[in-house]
Amino acid sequence: MTVKFGLQQPAFRERSGHAIWQNTERIAVEAERLGFDSYWLMDHFMQIPQVDPVESPMMESYMTMAAVAARTSRIRLGAMVTGTPYRNPAMLAKMGATIDVISNGRFILGIGAGWYKQEFEAYGFVFPPVGERMARLEDAVQIIHKMWTEKKPSYEGRFYSITEPICEPPPVQNPRPPIMVGGGGEQRTLQIVARYADAWNIIGTPELIKRKMEVLERHCEKEGRDPATIEKTRLGSIIVARNEADLTAKMERYYPDGIAEERRRDHIVGTADYCIERCAELIDLGLDTLMFNFPDAHTLESPQLFMEEVAPALQKR
């Protein structure tokens, strides 16, 4: 099995004003040069507290992605993951098709139900109950699928409907860009993955991922689908250090209060040998793609060390 690697940029650190874009472009271009398979942005309008203070800079993901598409030529691009209630799904299908054209067929639609209540309220979006958000997600993936594969699609759902919208130019990818659903909800999210998704993204420990994959397999069995047809991906944080002294310095800078016990298995922080061991544990679960956000991505140190020392060892397994 050949595992793929993605780089997610969740923050716009160390720069302000117009330099934010210049630094983002530099990270994306370098990710492509280093050999990452995909580059991802978060779909948030304000920063999430798990990453940085909420007042931190945050560029809109789809406009940024279009600019990155014009500056790169090989790496695949997506949002990890798009919040369904933020955009009408027909408009989202049009946006995705446009980025696929700009990138010459490199767009991946990452999509989920949305969860950041503070952001919804701050921007004036209604924050529906979880059941409604899941129903909106199911409507959205069906509408987007239709708009990317049919000339005059129509669909009437519980929350979204379309009546023969025109999506020209269509996406470059045939039959359409892949749809990746993010989340681990065992009743609805994984059911939606089994029914509609080309790929699935999960965040969590090896123990949690193993359980979620078993649940996904049961949903696939009910839907009459081979689970091997779904690309299974995992997103998590990683810092690769050159040696123990470098590791100590990076821990002091990026985790000054340490890593909370309940998140230690979510984070991979160590020298190359340690990172290889932890990543191999994830690959052995049956994951096809490992996606990482690097707290020190703006320095490009960990992404470079990962692709030079960690990735080759994992590809040889």
Residue 209 dihedral angles phi and psi, to the nearest 5°:
-60, -40
CATH code for the domain of 56? 3.20.20.30
pLDDT at 50: 87
Q: How far apart are CA 70 and CA 77, in angstroms?
A: 11
Percent of the chain beyond pLDDT 90?
Answer: 89
Fill in the amino acid letter for 36: F
The full DSSP string for the chain is: ---EEEEEE----S--TTHHHHHHHHHHHHHHHHT-SEEEE---SS--TTTS-TTS----HHHHHHHHHHH-SSSEEEETTEEGGGS-HHHHHHHHHHHHHHTTS-EEEEEE----HHHHHHTT-----HHHHHHHHHHHHHHHHHHHH-SS-EEE-SS-EEES----SPPSSSS---EEEE---TTTHHHHHHHH-SEEEE-S-HHHHHHHHHHHHHHHHHHT--GGGSEEEEEEEEEEESSHHHHHHHHHHH-TT---GGGTTT-EEEEHHHHHHHHHHHHTTT-SEEEEE-TTGGGTHHHHHIIIIIHHHHHT-
Q: Are strands 107-112 and 179-182 parallel, antiparallel or unpaired?
A: parallel
Residues in the chain where the model's pLDDT stays below 50: none
Q: Which domain holds residue 144?
A: 4-315
For 27-67, the pLDDT digits (tens) are: 999 999 999 999 999 999 999 998 899 999 999 999 999 99
Q: Please state the domain count of the chain.
A: 1
Does the model's pTM come out above 0.85? yes
Q: How far apart are CA 41 and CA 53, in angstroms?
A: 17
Q: Residue 270: which of 293, 296, 290, 244 has the closest Cα?
A: 244
pLDDT at 255: 86
Q: Radius of gyration over alpha carbons of the chain, in Å?
A: 19
For 99-132, the pLDDT digits (tens) are: 999 999 999 999 999 999 999 999 999 999 999 9
Fill in the amino acid letter for 51: V
